[in-house]
Structure 1
Amino acid sequence: MPKLAKIQSLQKERTSNGSYRFRVRYPAGVVSQRFQNGTVSRRTVYKQKRFTSEREAREFITDLRREHREAGEDSHLISDGAKRALVLLAPKVRNRGESLESLISELSGALDALESISDPITGKAPRLLDAVQDYAKLIKPTLGTEPARDEVEMYLEETERRASTGNIQEDSARGYRVRMNPFLKSKISLHPLGFFSSEAGIRALIKWLDSQPGGPTNYNNYRRHLSIFFGWAVKKGKIPRNPCEQIEERRKKRSEEQEAEIITPEEFKALLHVAKGSLPGVMEDERWSPNLLAGIALQGFCGIRAKEMTRLDWKSVDLKEGHVLVSRGQGKTRKGRVIPLPDASLIWLNSVKERTGPVVPCEYQKKLSGLRSIMRNPSQLMRKAPGFVSSEMPDNCLRHSFATYHLALHKNEALTSRLMGNSPGVLRDNYEALVTRAPRLAPEWFNVRP
């Protein structure tokens, strides 16, 4: 197609009354014609505009050339009627939360898709409107037409029923409702469920997530629970896709990114002695509580979660066979797991006198906090005790230490993640960086003895 600068023309004409006027001829559009053999013919349509002065005519040409430079070679081929149609379309597009630019980009892709399904005999492609209407008829039965709020309530009721039958933990069911309550109370939940499978619905979800208080951690938690709900809706055939798969997690700021922290075998040994009450000065501290030894040993030697410890019974700890069973009802996940007990752990556990009923005392996690205070700020008598080493006892350090040392010792992600009740991906993300510092201490950790 010729360049705009070459196809413009300025002609001076004499009128019947003897005056002059100036005529500008310029391209105004393209007419396309499709033939039966599938070929398409296009020709440029020209318009003319007359001016009473040469200056006005040349200014008009200058404006056309500027538009050509800024908007591209084909910008001059958009007719005035097409421009007016875009202006009228703009409010409707804005109401959908989109822009003309994104709509035109999608239109271009849609036209390409239509060309790919043209009739092989006639070469004709279906009309875009016909294709969209046919698709709507096909997908309509699977799109949720009920308000999302009603579907969320149905989902929460189902999770609560599953909790009552022991399929999931009651804490998990309560957690789902707590996280979904802000969504339920917001206006966004009044949208039909199917709306959230659209691009506009995904943008609305992102906007809602952004409006929630808290930083990236809170954002990711809400996103995760919404994803669980929408995943449930997909399995039920209520919507065609999970919108949260199109929403990325938020990266934490560097100050918020806390690497999992571990303790040394020496600190672990001191902690076991303090928990046992076998070091001078421990009994003087009211924050200390007896019967913590088994919990500390099982967390450090087996990687059991503190929350799981509160559900564990001595019936699940088989000292003769050398393993501990975290059943489906006790663990965080639906699957139970059997964890071998290292020989060193058997020595500590056999020293526990009462081995019936719950393995740990009530308010175990609260008493762990008290034990942490002792380890961080020991008495003068404890500091002088042989074998005592103070420790900061970072949060969840026993489970983190088990994961790190076990992975360093066995170099088997699948095994370590199975014993911990995690996925290999979670294990890799949280502990891979620590493993490089652990190989030398790993054998020592699993051989800590009184």
Structure 2
Amino acid sequence: MPKRPQFTVVKTSEGWRVNVPASLAESGKRERYFHQTRDKAQQYASELREKYKQHGEAAAIIRPSLAEAATQAEKILKPWRISLVEAARMVAEIKERENASKPANEAIDAWLLACEGLRARTLDGYRQVSRKLKAAFNDTLLTSIGAEDIQNIIAPPGITGAAVLGRIRNARAFWRWAAKKGWCDADVFKAVEAPKNGRHQNEIAILTPTEAKCLLQVAEAHYPDAVASYALQLFAGIRVEELRRLEARHVTEGGIEMSADITKRGRRRHINPHPTLSAWLAIYPYSPCPNWREVDKACRRLAGWNLDSRLLEKQAAQAAAENGSEPEQLPVPTLGRWPQNALRHSHASYAVAAGAPLESLLFEFGHTQNPSVLREHYIGRASKKDAIEFFKIRPKGEEVPSIVAV
């Protein structure tokens, strides 16, 4: 039977010493404590005896299986210089965090509910990333999800583009919210890496006059309700997100009134319509296009761009069902991936090439920076000849003399 510790007080040159054996020390190692006076040392020794009486005496009758397990655990922990007590505390902390955590699906549902009332576009982005996270993690506790797990779902290596950056931004918003609830560790998300963008990825891309004309002609032939929306983007440079908030009353012969609740920056601006835009709106007066997102994808696909269109696939399936035949395959894309913000960039590039002052474009575009930003992106992007061809595009294939186009 192990010898009962005495916790004797010994006077030394360093003070009054009390020895604590390794079997009783919290660190798992032999400890020595020094006190300036004997009274304090004796009081401490008395506290240790009482503590041993309450908790330590059970160690004298510890069952052999537990002693063997403790010995094996001590060997496992030895290379790491961690005592059994420290290891037990670490495990307890892990279990406490797990008990305070939530399954991913429950946490995400709670987050989306808390986000009700935000802008529709913001909520749409949150819902998209939520579907990805729920499909991947389902009932996994948030504390069991690592940065690498998140990385592989929302931004796997080799994947780039604005969509990936958006997913990272939206997933980060969820993770921070959950961390404030105590359901996960906020620092985990710091290890999630955004895709590296090379300098070439910052270069803008525009449509050629032929590509712009083809897109408008496709809309005229298949989706006339979308024509005015394209004209406003191509010949006035209105952002897609602003177009979703634009109403028919904002577009008149006198110009396009972009109120603060429409613009991205929350600053009112007024756009004087170019003669080309006026020609399009005279035949296709603006009103919001129903189901714009799917109609836009369908038009771009029919114009030759490489992207999926659920609307075209649905129409092909319906036609096949009516005829009792197999659905026709969509035409093979002849162009590449659709350039980001292509319509707005096209308008600015051709307007600059046609001689529009940068200062007027700065206001009409809703930029808050100085003209150097427009100068960097748009000057020299298009030629004078292409600008003339661009602004000559008219409804139903009509053209106007070059002098009127600019």
How does the TM-score come out when normalised to structure 2?
0.47
How does the TM-score come out when normalised to structure 1?
0.44
